[in-house]
Amino acid sequence: MNVFLNPGHAPDGNPDPGAVNAETGLRECDVAKAVADLAEGYLKEAGVTVVGNLQDDSLAAITDAANESGADVFVSIHCNAASPAAQGTEVCIYPGSAEGEKLGGCILAQITDALGTANRGLKVRTPGVNGLYVLSHTDMPAVLVELAFISNEEDAELLSSRQDDFARAIARGVTDYEQMQGKKTKG
């Protein structure tokens, strides 16, 4: 299986760091990059081919690269932000994508099991309503993982101190999905 990873927001936060924790200064772009790089290593160890790991402020460049990469699945990695009380993990998917739903479910289960974050479920993001560019413009099953809330004190601590566990969980989610595919294609 070929995987394309997309840590969210701009490299080194320039010009777009994504969400930032007001107290600690922890930046979404840095968490996403660290987790994606660690996940790339774990995926490779598991025999999964990582055909891209691209962080860029041009979303069109990312989806063009993904569509040309031969990726079977696309995984974008982000941190959520809202009021300080909001916490937990959610995975955004494209409407009507059964494969995106399966992949998202596998990753969501692994992260919430490993980190103990609240399971906020799969979130369908509909173009023209609340669509997400990287889900709408990729040709393959795609998910956008909101690891946890960088704006919440407990979640931000996990995002800072347990990046390796988030990365392992993403890699396990992908291989869980791959095994589901294998079973299906073997009848």
Regarding 18 and contact with Zn ion (CB under 5 A), the answer is: yes
Q: Which stretch binds Zn ion (CB under 5 A): 4-12, 55-63, 110-118, 155-163?
A: 4-12
Residue 78 within binding range of Zn ion, rule CB under 5 A: yes
CB of 155 to Zn ion, least distance (A): 14
Name the one range near Zn ion by CB under 5 A: 11-19, 53-61, 100-108, 176-184: 11-19
Shortest gap between Cβ of 113 and Zn ion (angstroms)? 23
Assess 141 for contact with Zn ion (CB under 5 A): no
Q: How many CB atoms lie within 10 A of CB 179?
A: 12
Positive or negative, the CA dihedral 169, 170, 171, 174 is positive
The one-character DSSP state at 8 is S
3-state secondary structure of 45: helix
| Residues that contact Zn ion, how many (by CB under 5 A) | 3
Q: Is 8 near Zn ion (CB under 5 A)?
A: yes
Written as six digits, the tokens of 53 are 């790991």
Taking each helix axis as running N to C, give the angle between helix 153-161 and helix 163-185, from 0 to 180 degrees, rounded to the nearest 10.
80
For Zn ion, the closer CB: 78 or 120: 78
User: Is the Cβ of residue 30 or residue 101 nearer to Zn ion in the bound state?
Assistant: 30
Residues with Cβ within 8 Å of residue 101, at least 6 apart in sequence: 93, 122
> What phi and psi, each to the nearest 5 degrees, are found at residue 96?
80, 5
- Rounded to a whole number of angstroms, the minimum distance from the CB of residue 27 to Zn ion is 11
Of the ranges 71-79, 84-92, 116-124, 151-159, which one interacts with Zn ion (CB under 5 A)? 71-79
Tokens 């998910």 identify what position? 143
Nearest distance in Å: CB 41, Zn ion = 22
- Cβ of residue 49: shortest distance to Zn ion, in angstroms? 25
Helices in 16-162 by DSSP H: which ranges?
Answer: 28-45, 59-68, 98-115, 133-136, 153-161
Q: At closest approach, how far in Å is the CB of 5 from Zn ion?
A: 14
The two three-digit tokens of residue 104, written as one number: 């998202």
What residues line the site for Zn ion (CB under 5 A)? 8, 18, 78
